[in-house]
Chain A
Amino acid sequence: MSVDTSLRFDKDYVTGFSSSRQEPAWLQELRLQALELAQELPMPKPDKTKIDKWNFTEFKHEATGTPVAFNELPEDVKALIGSEEEAKNVLVIHNGTPVYFALEESVKDQGVIYTDLLTAAKEHEELVKKYFMKAVAVDENRLPALHAALFVNGAFLYVPKNVELSAPIQAVYYQDDEAAIFNHVIVAAEDNSSVTYVENYLSTNESSESVANIVSEVYAGSGAKVVYGAVDNLAKGMTTYVNRRGRAEKDARIEWALGQFNDGNTVSDNTTHLIGDGSFTDTKTVTIGRGDQKQNFVAQIFNHGKHSEGYILTHGVMKDNASSIFNGITKIEHGATKSHGEQTERVLMLSEKARGDANPILLIDEDDVTAGHAASVGRIDPLQMFYLMSRGIPKAEAERLIIHGFLAPVVSQMPLESVKNRLVEVIERKVR
């Protein structure tokens, strides 16, 4: 595989790609170093899922989208962001190209920066340099390295000190070309600021093989609060690596609300480092697997700071031949006294052939802490089915009700109404 990588995307290619976009020198340099690493480093090894036959390295890299007015956006995209009046702060990236953008004056006036990442790299070079590939290291394994070498675009959201934004900042990443998605998101909230960011990934390519390699980095400064909502809805043709990483400083708070509804094979890593004392994170995820897809989900929290608290709640439904591994990891570091970790993973399998595996792991290097976990993996209860059907509800509808019911405790607790509604919609489409 490494041979393939070096063949298709070599130094000349990356230099040319970066130059054609007039990227700053440091970024081009970083890409080239990353490319070298991508050729040397091993693939990630997600626990209990074999990915060595998955294609992460063969893909068409570039595609283009054309900037459009609001009413020319595809209906699928409009459905996600609401009307023009509602979608006041939104970035739409189509096939790697920013095609629509809106940001309220009142938001700009407070010093908030929200733009596509390429523009940010040119106009806010120092800030991007400070945050790009810092939470996720280039040399972690081959895929972040490949990501850094070849990322196409993404979003950059910067919220200055003490600025509290109430309206959510939205992004839609929409792909209808067979090219890969190499998207990078940075959310940096300075001390005592507060922001909500919601993204939707959407692709339409069912048949031809493609790759998504996505990295998000979230930085919450002291006392800052970041709510990060994401709904992944990539089509069957896409093999996905998605790594969303957060770092919370003193008394900071990061809340993740993730709907992971890709139809292709997926490796997902959501890790939060609770660096500062009193920091807090909460990860809520829902998933539906169907068809023959294989997925591996990691939800991971590192408690470094004292009095830090981390919560993980995952519910997944497996249909057809789908199989998924859910690894929940709470790691409480030495010195993180009085901290707390809690996780729950629940998996419901709808068919004999579906597979689900939940592995809650507590790794605790400090005595003075509290932690707990719960996990369950089970098949749909035939008595529940009998009960529902005995009221005249057909089998498919009964299953639909049970799935909604199973995911409801997570969906209903999602911190954002728009994410909630979107989740219900996607779930509805997937259970039919």
Chain B
Amino acid sequence: MSAPNLKIEDLRVSIEDKEIIKGLDLEINGGEIHAIMGPNGTGKSTLSAALMGHPKYEVTSGKVTFNGEDLLDMEVDERAQAGLFLAMQYPSEVSGITNADFLRSAINAKREEGDEISLMKFIRELDKKMDHLEMDNAFAHRYLNEGFSGGEKKRNEILQMMMLEPKLAILDEIDSGLDIDALKVVAKGVNEMRSPDFGCLIITHYQRLLNYITPDKVHVMMQGRIVKSGGPELAQRLEAEGYDWIKEELGIKDETVGQEA
């Protein structure tokens, strides 16, 4: 397995003809953990959804390659099969499909017909990972996210990531709504995945999670662009001082999308 590479160049994304991402560049390699921080409404979720191929988000220009291939040319399922994973800020609920059946379909979708994962092996893996995430086994047999609390949904996203073993995971506000114990568990899950064959983009607006997962690079997003990048110390400064100093430094009055002077 070769180390993954995600390369985003001058990406522009619109929703309903409103431009949200306005020329964004970013490169993530295997072994690296990047964090994108930024206040609400600055385009973080739009970026992650567009990368995964959400039907409502239209990429109007720019280029994204994943392991050298044109990501934007792929269907949503093909992007996943290529090794991209998105832990969503608001995961869907799907009634009538158990978590376990869903996961097994997803795993088998990546495998050749006739080479499906054996039920025994699947259950063993699932048990192990659920233990790791301190999830009650009953969640395997509940309908996908249906009636899950916010925190349970987040854990379930991480469970899916661990079961599917992507090459590159984008975690969109995986920390929101989590108490400190749950946060540690989620961090444990991500740290477990850390390897040269795995890259990760953590989107958050708190520094909290980054106490448990040390990022290699930290980016600040405002007005649909990355406006500042640095190392872990940048996250700490943001935690201590907030975002105002950056706004001042860059002459930004309102950081949300669409409020440019």
A: which residues have CB within 8 A of B? 381-384, 386-395, 397-398, 401-402, 404-409
Question: Whole-angstrom distance between the alpha carbons of A408 and B141 in the complex?
Answer: 13
B96 touches A393 (CB 8 A): no
B97 touches A391 (CB 8 A): no
Question: Whole-angstrom distance between the alpha carbons of A386 and B109 in the complex?
Answer: 15
A390 touches B86 (CB 8 A): yes
Question: Whole-angstrom distance between the alpha carbons of A329 and B247 in the complex?
Answer: 63
Known: A391-B106, A397-B109. Is A407-B92 also a contact (CB below 8 A)?
Answer: no
B195 contacts partner chain A, Cβ-Cβ < 8 Å: no
Give the contacts of B71-123 with A (CB-CB under 8 A).
75-77, 79-81, 85-86, 88, 91-92, 94-97, 101-102, 105-106, 109-110
Q: Which A-B residue pairs are the 4 nearest by beta carbons? A: A405-B96, A408-B96, A392-B80, A391-B106
When distances are taken between beta carbons in the complex, the residues of chain B under 8 Å from A386 are 52-55, 76, 92
With both beta carbons as reference points, the residue of chain A lying nearest to B110 in the complex is identified as A392
When distances are taken between beta carbons in the complex, the residues of chain B under 8 Å from A408 are 95-97
With both beta carbons as reference points, the residue of chain B lying nearest to A394 in the complex is identified as B77
B: which residues have CB within 8 A of A? 52-56, 75-77, 79-81, 85-86, 88, 91-92, 94-97, 101-102, 105-106, 109-110, 143-144, 160, 164
Question: Whole-angstrom distance between the alpha carbons of A397 and B116 in the complex?
Answer: 15
B105 touches A393 (CB 8 A): yes
Question: Whole-angstrom distance between the alpha carbons of A392 and B164 in the complex?
Answer: 9
Known: A387-B88, A387-B92. Is A393-B97 also a contact (CB below 8 A)?
Answer: no
B81 touches A392 (CB 8 A): yes
A404 touches B96 (CB 8 A): yes
Question: Whole-angstrom distance between the alpha carbons of A391 and B76 in the complex?
Answer: 8
When distances are taken between beta carbons in the complex, the residues of chain B under 8 Å from A401 are 94, 97, 101-102, 105
Would you give 11 A-B contacts (Cβ < 8 Å), ordered by A? A386-B55, A386-B76, A386-B92, A389-B77, A389-B80, A390-B86, A392-B106, A397-B109, A401-B102, A405-B94, A405-B96
When distances are taken between beta carbons in the complex, the residues of chain B under 8 Å from A389 are 53, 75-77, 80
CB distance from A46 to the nearest CB of B (A): 29
Question: Whole-angstrom distance between the alpha carbons of A386 and B76 in the complex?
Answer: 7
Question: Whole-angstrom distance between the alpha carbons of A192 and B81 in the complex?
Answer: 59
A384 touches B92 (CB 8 A): yes
With both beta carbons as reference points, the residue of chain A lying nearest to B54 in the complex is identified as A386
B92 touches A405 (CB 8 A): no
Count chain B CB atoms within 10 A of each CB in A381, A390, A397, A406 and give the residue with the most. A390
Which of A392, A402, A404 interacts with B77 by CB under 8 Å? A392
A382 touches B55 (CB 8 A): yes
B109 touches A394 (CB 8 A): yes
Count chain B CB atoms within 10 A of each CB in A386, A408, A409 and give the residue with the most. A386
Count chain B CB atoms within 10 A of each CB in A383, A384, A392, A409 and give the residue with the most. A392
Known: A392-B77, A395-B77. Is A404-B97 also a contact (CB below 8 A)?
Answer: yes
CB distance from B4 to the nearest CB of A (A): 15
Count chain B CB atoms within 10 A of each CB in A395, A402, A405 and give the residue with the most. A405
Taking A386-B55, A390-B77 as known contacts, 19 extra A-B pairs with beta carbons closer than 8 A to each other, sorted by chain A number, are A381-B92, A383-B92, A384-B92, A386-B76, A387-B91, A389-B53, A389-B75, A390-B80, A390-B86, A391-B109, A392-B110, A392-B164, A393-B105, A397-B105, A397-B109, A401-B105, A405-B97, A407-B96, A408-B95
